Chains A and B, each alone.
Chain A
Amino acid sequence: MDWMRYKFIFFTLSGLMIVLGILGLFKWGLKFGVDFKGGSLIEYKFEKGISTEGIDKKLEEEGLKLNSIQALGDNKYLLRLASLDKEGKEKLKKVLENLSYSGVEELRFETVGPSIGPELVRKTIYAILIASGVILAWVAYQFKNLKFGISAILAMFHDSFLLIAGYSFLGHFYNVEIDFLFVTALLTTLSFSVHDTIVVFDRIRESQKKFDDRSKKSSNLLKDSFSRLANQAVTETMVRSLNNSFTILFMLTSLILLGGVSIRWFAVALFLGTILGTYSSPFVAVPLLVSWDKVFRKNPSKKSKTG
């Protein structure tokens, strides 16, 4: 199948998604959780259900600022507040006990100072840069060509960016916050994306070798051959790529549905990342590679008709 014929559709689709992502990021931004912003997060289990109405006013009377309260089901509630100290925590517990007329069990308490977040962001950026640098070097070395490495890395950034941008939508519509686990999901997406891309690239390299042997005998085969090799590689790896992603998606679906609230959005992030990583290999990385090859193989001063 001639996938590369449609590469402008793929580019346009990715371009559209990126523009949409930028719009989302500008309009809504990202909702950062306590891991980044600082503050407190506390999860309680009540013996009976409570009415959350007016709870913020009651807490305000005690000098506590409630940012949000979220029912987790099973009489469990997750509260987000400005940083709580020991006294604040006791006050909060008292208010809630009065509210529910029953016992309150503290399941989880997290409080993060404001200096932690920026450090986390910086360390994550370093980790991403170092990992991409090393992956770039490895791919370039393994394929003896920088264009493979750069195409793979670009596809990887494409996926990471869209995942982050997707979270501006999830944050806006479902109040999903960016936390430490999201960072983990992002980094996984990164490595999965490259993993998937390398399999396709590997196929291109392999058929290129076979092809080079043949084209030594007859030179007229050269014309537009790279894109044909790419097509062949995409076709040959498509089923594998889909099957593999299905198995991962099965795992993640099960985690989303049954894994519990604390990792639900983490699993969703991984789910999106897997889809993006699977999509980007044949439809972003390979078209990029083919376009690159076209631009550089033809006269560099003259732009080619199609690319």
Chain B
Amino acid sequence: MWKYILKKLLLAIPVLLGITVIDYAIMSLAGSPLDMLVGPRITEGAIAARAAKWGLNQPIWVQYWNWLVEVLHGNLGYSYKSYQPVAELIGSHVGPTLLLMGVSMALGLLIAVPAGIYSAVHRYQKRDYAVVSASFLFSSIPGFFLALLMIYLFTVVLGWLPSSGMITPGVGGGALDVARHLVMPALVLALGVAGGNIRYIRSSVLEILEMDYLRTATAKGLGRGLVIRRHAFRNALLPIVTVIGMQIPTLFGGAVIVEQLFSWPGLGLITMTAVTGRDYPVIMGVCLLSAVVVLASNLLTDILYALVDPTIKY
């Protein structure tokens, strides 16, 4: 087992390096941050000095190498805009994003797992079609449109929920206040998660329901509920574990847009600002973080899979 984990870890390192290389290349192609400085108020000498200070006068591969060496020394660099250390910037924004993603994932699975199982158990009945249609609908609504509809309904018409930020300024604080701000963005993301996964869980439960051991369980006279709860559900857990792993990059992507719409003070918000402002160190920091998270969740999925399913060889 340990050998397996070690092997997977070692395999992840070149992938991670590859991702950062692609990141750096794409980012540099996108345009130099120096272009943003050009204007009537700045001299060429000042720009050249800035270029030298940021190391942008060197070839791209040298820049990348310098960045990599710094990262290996634990230094993610400083933001070009706010001059804050990138690690500090990310650290202060990672909490809200984790909260948003965690709540959305939990909520999404809480909808998707029972709905998927229900749908599979009542296969080809009206109820099954209703659930599957609903899941298609959930995954077909653009998140931002759902967000607009919700803001319209809950903020404008009903006035129940605040539409932006994480705490009410002035009054702010308290878990209840944060929860009220969290409802809409989390619901938008959760419905997206549920939409895609209901059908996935349905089909994996269906596959299991056709297994011989379930026929045996039914044949020996166990009640339907017991068969599903004790025999089918346990085996259906396996594909559900995979779903969670697959969901993380998608969820992060969704969070970028949702955070933008609801002014949720998370990583998505600083990412958007960094991308439009060509703030290289911040972009690279966020990319590195997200790549690590994604690879780590892939690894965790593999390990969980190997633990849960004894037939997997490693």
Do A and B come from the same complex?
no
